[in-house]
Amino acid sequence: MMRKKISMPAHLMYDGRDDDLFEHFSTVAQCLGVYTAKDYADILEFLVGRWKVGDLTGLSAEGRKTQDYVCGLLARIRKLEERAQARAKQGPCIPFSWIYDREVQL
């Protein structure tokens, strides 16, 4: 599941005009701190630690490969978090139809 990328249910949201609506919406949520890449990374870190994924033994070759992948995912997500924060500082203004085309800086 983690390899295939998690898709948020709202990734299909569409207002009839903006093909990148979910991407814009999630960028605003990130900027406002509603749900951020940091939150996602913190949740992953908690679960990997709670389930002691890195300490599992007796795994098959495929299991070890998956263990390495899941344990390394946190560092990748933390890098995404840094990029998202940098992007948030320099984003364009986009109108959102459901707030009467008010422009919001991404």
Distance CA 30, CA 16 (A): 23
10-residue stretch averages of pLDDT, the chain, 106 residues long = 68 87 81 80 93 96 94 90 75 79 76
54 within some domain: yes
pLDDT value of residue 10: 80
91 within some domain: yes
pLDDT value of residue 63: 95
| Alpha-carbon distance values, 5 to 1, 61, 83, 90 (Å) | 7, 22, 18, 26
pLDDT value of residue 13: 85
Distance CA 87, CA 93 (A): 13
Distance CA 37, CA 90 (A): 17
41 within some domain: yes
78 within some domain: yes
**Domain of 29?**
16-105
pLDDT value of residue 2: 63
88 within some domain: yes
pTM: 0.65
Asked if 29 contacts 40 with a C-beta cutoff of 8 angstroms, the reply is: no
Give how many domains the chain has, as a whole number.
Answer: 1
Beta bridge partners of 104: 94
1 within some domain: no
pLDDT value of residue 100: 82
6 within some domain: no
Alpha helices (H) in the chain, listed in sequence order = 21-32, 37-50, 61-88
Distance CA 99, CA 106 (A): 15
